[in-house]
């Protein structure tokens, strides 16, 4: 058990809003993942009998959907931005934004909105290759190594959040990028199962195309 006390800046912010800052007692739980790594998770549920430590490994993954929902509500829908201070105004604003979020979700399901991801890590991965050469003189760069690492960076923690993922990437010459992509996604699925103790049912569809057939590829690779 640990007790976390608010820093002076946070304490002042609480008092400015009429809230008296109070310390929070947390229970720390050590979880060993199947890959051998160790994570320390914190919870306000202090009673072991109420929430045994053995359940945390599976529960930890289930938080992703809720956290993404909070992010959508707070950052995209700006749920905390209100047009008035009365109870009626607050209810109207929140209900209107919840309705808008639900309508947007329905439209995405009907229209099958496409997603184009921009790769921003190529410089960092080039540095990684140089560092590997310094650490291990016998290291040899594989043909698809950087590409596989980019795929892992983009999709390792995101692709399993849907039941089915259709990924289209820009075709470049005759290199076997389709196979590399599928292999990387399979490895990500294996890693997910090892870390969380169960396999996610998401299925992946990987295709390659050119900008004339898929206009979004004029700007990005995926």
User: In this predicted model, what pLDDT tens digit does every residue of 36-88 receive, in sequence order?
Assistant: 888 898 889 898 888 888 888 878 777 777 888 888 888 877 888 888 888 88
Which among 113, 133, 166 is the end of a domain?
113
Place of tokens 């996604």: 185
- 43: β partners: 27
Counted domains in the chain: 3
In whole angstroms, what is the distance from residue 96 CA to residue 98 CA?
6
For 29-48, write each residue's pLDDT tens digit.
988 877 788 889 888 989 88
In whole angstroms, what is the distance from residue 65 CA to residue 200 CA?
14
172 and 128 in one domain? Answer: yes
206 and 131 in one domain? Answer: yes
Containing structural domain, residue 47: 1-72
* Helices 145-155, 122-135: inter-axial angle, 10-degree rounding: 130
pTM above 0.75, yes or no: no
Q: Backbone phi, then psi, for 73, in 5-degree steps? A: -65, -40
168 and 106 in one domain? Answer: no
170, exposed or middle or buried, with CB in 10 Å at 0-12, 13-18, 19+?
middle
Number of CB atoms found within 10 A of residue 57's CB? 19
Q: Is residue 81 within 8 Å of 73, Cβ to Cβ? A: no
Low-confidence ranges of the chain (pLDDT < 70): 106-126, 128, 141-162, 172-181, 196, 215-222
């Amino acid at each position: 058990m640990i007790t976390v006390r608010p820093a002076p800046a946070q304490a002042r912010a609480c008092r400015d809003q009429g809230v008296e800052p109070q310390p929070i007692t947390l229970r720390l739980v050590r979880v060993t993942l199947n890959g051998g790594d160790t994570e320390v998770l914190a919870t306000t549920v202090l009673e072991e009998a109420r929430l045994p430590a053995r359940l945390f490994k599976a529960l930890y993954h289930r938080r992703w959907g809720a956290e993404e929902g909070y992010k959508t509500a707070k950052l995209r829908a700006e749920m905390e931005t209100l047009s008035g201070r009365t109870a009626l105004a607050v209810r109207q604003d929140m209900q209107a934004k919840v309705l808008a979020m639900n309508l947007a979700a329905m439209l995405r399901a009907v229209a099958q909105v496409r997603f184009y991801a921009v790769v921003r890590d190529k410089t960092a991965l080039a540095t990684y290759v140089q560092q590997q050469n310094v650490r291990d003189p016998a290291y040899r760069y594989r043909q698809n190594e950087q590409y596989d690492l980019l795929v892992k960076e983009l999709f390792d923690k995101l692709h399993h959040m849907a039941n089915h993922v259709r990924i289209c990437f820009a075709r470049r010459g005759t290199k076997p990028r389709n196979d590399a992509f599928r292999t990387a996604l399979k490895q990500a699925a294996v890693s997910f199962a090892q870390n969380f103790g169960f396999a996610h049912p998401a299925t992946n569809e990987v295709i390659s195309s050119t900008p004339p057939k898929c206009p979004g590829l004029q700007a990005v690779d995926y």
